[in-house]
Amino acid sequence: MAVKNKRRNSPIVEAVAAERLGARVRDMRTARGLTLEELAEGSQVSRAMLSKVERGETNPTLVVAAKISSALGVSLTTLLGVEEERRTVVVVPRAELRVFRDPETGFERQLLSPPFEGRTLEFVRHVIPRGASSGDLPAYPRGVEKYLAVEQGALEVTIGGEAYRLDKGDALYFEADVPHRFSNAGRSACSYYLVVNSAGVRRQV
């Protein structure tokens, strides 16, 4: 089996560059034959904000990025990352994790699984600063499931208007085809692991 070796001289955290993200949004939009106005209507993100994102002038918040990816019909990981070379075994060094940080709230999304485009399973770690939240995330397509386990702190998960409090070591499963939100419910930073399974979407096609 081939193993992906660690590369030297990599940054400690590779943040998603606004320019790269903007180019991906623009390329995906044009590949689908959508105008800015059509993408704005489908994502419920203003044309002005989309234009700034595509020009690389700003990094969107987590909620805005999720709305854009949903309107484009791709996962958030596909929108934010690039496809890696496929391997039987893939090592993802800590120094090379794909990290997205919400510029407004500090909410951090760390992709732990290799960013293979088209895969139906994603493994991520979220870190929420004290007093912050993910914001209201849009509903995923029917068939998408989320599994999570709290690593540190206290977490409140609001699913379709109903709130659930989780403490360190607690776990939760839910079907993600309704709006939902992740909020820090404690006095210190909260971190948790999240698995997103979209295999059910393919089965229903």
Q: Does domain 14-80 have CATH number 3.40.50.300?
A: no
Strand order, beta sheet including 162-166: 162-166, 155-159, 180-184
Can you list the pairs that 165-172 forms with residues at least 24 positions away whose Cβ atoms lie under 8 Å?
Answer: 166/192, 171/147, 172/147, 172/148
User: What pLDDT was estimated at residue 114?
Assistant: 84
> What are the b/e assignments for 96-120, b being 16+ CB within 10 Å?
bbbbbbbeebebbbbbebbbbeebb
User: What pLDDT was estimated at residue 75?
Assistant: 86
Angle between helical axes of 62-72 and 47-54 (0-180°, round to 10):
90
CA distances to 82, 86, 103, 140, 145 from 188, in Å: 33, 38, 19, 29, 28
Instruction: Give the integer Cα–Cα distance in Å for 93 and 190.
Output: 22
User: 80 φ, ψ to 5°?
Assistant: -85, -25
User: What pLDDT was estimated at residue 20?
Assistant: 84
In the chain, where are the structural domains located? Answer: 14-80, 120-204
CATH class of the domain comprising 120-204? mainly beta
In order along its 205 residues, the chain shows pLDDT tens digits of 444 444 433 332 334 577 888 888 999 999 999 999 999 999 999 999 999 999 988 888 889 999 999 999 988 888 886 444 444 677 888 888 889 999 999 999 999 988 776 778 999 999 999 999 999 999 999 999 999 999 999 999 999 999 999 999 999 999 999 999 999 999 999 999 999 999 888 554 3
